[in-house]
Amino acid sequence: MSTTQPLLKPISLGAIELKNRIVMAPLTRSRATNENQSPDQKHIDYYTQRAGAGLIITEASEISKQARGYAHVAGIFNEAQVEGWKNVVDSVHKEGGKIVLQLWHVGRISLPDFHDGQLPWAPSAVNPEVEHRNPNGEKKMTVTPHAMTVEEIEQTVKDYGNAAANAKKAGFDGVEIHSSNGYLIHQFFNNKSNLRTDEYGGSNENKARFFFEVLDAVKESFPDNRIGCRLNPSLNGVFGIDGTPDTIPFFDYLINRLNEYDLAYLHLSEPFTDVSKIDFLVSEIAKHYRPIYNGNLMINNQFDRESGNKVIEDGHADLVAFGKLFISNPDLAHRFELKAKTADWNMETFYTQGREGYTDYPTLEEEKAKN
């Protein structure tokens, strides 16, 4: 009987072979401070330090100028960004790592400040009513967004396709479609943010239409088995999204349809808030969706080494994505292998612009050398 920790066993994600099942979750870090919003040497160092992960999922990367909603985020819509990401990818590959790019459009979770005074786009003109920071870091309340026309939806699908083509050009092993956490694609899924009466609203098929059009556009650059997608079925009370009695039946429908595709993986999040008293939402996401989804299932949100090993051992997931632990432990996989203590993170430097709290967390060996 194998004594290897489940997290440390290799796995094939479609066309991507992983040395372990420890995934670096996508983490917005706000370090692209140059005029092109492109990755620079800081990003190269940061991701290369973490190449011991079985798979790195990059910070969410904006697919177009229209997709913007956060300051200092590295995009994937201009040549400087493609070149910057290529340098990151080459360095990670040199260290034996695998890396995919997360494709992002924030939709209504934005401000006119990011769009030359124009309204952000969304499925419907419904204000999420959340506090958000403008490009200067000032807090403002969101506004009622512009309801996208069918032509604007078609343009956005093309933007996803172009971003995937740019990711291919940069040499990524694959891409992850960010369909989660209250951003544009998720806004189409939710009955409170999507009030459309055309082919993009109402029925489960219509609410899922935009997502599947995006998936098909991405497939023009990457085969199914190099594409992942991220979903957060029980998101409630954050990012302007509240669950409804239709939420879980919709995600059941969506994830059942994903069985028709040969995706690299499906990336699910456990609830960000306590939904145990909401009878129409699911408290245990991996447990609920493992019997429904036939492919590789990745789970995240507040796992550690023990709980990560257990969720795989129990058969509820195939991989685990770790977020904050990867911020403060660049050698997380090595620490897990040794069952060593993990370092704490400093939340005050999560979204600052320098190297502090980004590339200066020591490895276990570096810690030992200091003592």
- Which residues are catalytically annotated? 183
Give the separation between CA 181 and CA 352, rounded to whole angstroms. 22
Q: Is 20 exposed, middle or buried (0-12, 13-18, 19+ CB in 10 A)?
A: buried
Whose tokens are 């124009």? That residue is 118
| Secondary structure string (H, E, C) spanning 268-328 | EECCCCCCCCCCCCCCCHHHHHCCCCCCCEEEECCCCHHHHHHHHHCCCCCEEEECHHHHH
Say how many CA atoms lie within 13 Å of 226 toward its Cβ.
20
Dmax over CA atoms of the chain, in Å, equals: 65
DSSP string, 94-124: HTT--EEEEEE--TTSS-GGGTTTPPPEESS
